[in-house]
Amino acid sequence: MTSFEEQLVRALERKSAEAPPTGQLVEAARMRHRRRRRALLCSGAALAIAVVLVPAGVLANHGLELGPSGGTGPVASSATTTTPSGSHDGPGCAELTGPLPVPATPAPPVPDAAAQHLAINESGTVAAWFNETGRLPELVVFDLTNNEELAREDLGVGEVAPQPSLRILGQALYFRSAEDHDVWVRYAWHHDGYPLVYTICN
């Protein structure tokens, strides 16, 4: 091995120390495995995707308003019900209250509005919500500034808690795990919209 190769080996070894913490790899792997299995089971099912994106600014046009930050309370639990008291306890985002929105501007076809637990970050640039599409809840992240979808991810049945307290902080969003309400599931989206990084934090 030449001296340059030896230097290369040492440099790579030193840089590897900057690797991210392992976190809870076992739990993350198990959850991913379950999601993959569920997705396979449901892959034959027709999923009527209902995507509704209404920038915060147009919500008012539909008689909607954003819930206050900092409170707690129930949120809508199905696509067809509306919950007037929706709000959540997370900083930096707000949850949709009132009737579900109707597309106000040209948008993907939306047969039935099904957005739930809509959260918008503090600066109003990113929105995220769950779609109840068939059996699988679907997580959607949307760039409100550029009007483009950042990420879309099928979640497993029962993976999302009934009151997930969805919130957006920085480049990641968090929601409560259905399996353990004290566990927060974290998703971070990349600049190209995928993949979502899936980690669990307590």
Partner 1 sequence: MTTDDFSAYVVARGESLVRFAFVLTGDQADAQDIVQDALSRALPRWDRIRAMEDVDAYVRRMVVNAHVSWWRRFRRKEFSVAEVRPTASVRATNPADTVVDAAFDQAVWLACARLGRGQRIAVVLRYYEGLSFKEIGNIMGCAEATARSRVFRGLATLRDLLGAEEAP
Contact set with partner 1 (CB under 8 A): 2-23, 25-26, 28-33, 36-37, 188, 190, 192, 194-195, 197-199
Instruction: Specify the 3-state DSSP secondary structure of 37.
Output: helix
The two tokens of residue 4 are 């340059």
Calculated CA dihedral for residues 158, 162, 168, 172, nearest 10 degrees: -20
Output the smallest distance, CB 40 to partner 1, in A: 11
What's the longest Cα–Cα distance across the chain?
71
CB of 158 to partner 1, least distance (A): 17
Nearer to partner 1, 95 or 154 (CB): 154
**What phi, psi does 164 have (nearest 5°)?**
-75, -15
State in angstroms the smallest separation of the CB of 157 from partner 1: 17
Cα(30)–Cα(35) distance, rounded to whole angstroms?
Answer: 9
Nearest residue (CB) to partner 1, 2 versus 81: 2
Pull the structure tokens for residue 186.
């974290």
Q: Is-contact 122 60, C-beta < 8 A?
A: no
Nearer to partner 1, 4 or 44 (CB): 4
Structure tokens at 115: 């957005």
Minimal distance in Å, beta carbon 19 to partner 1?
A: 4
Q: Which one, 112 or 179, has the nearer CB to partner 1?
A: 179
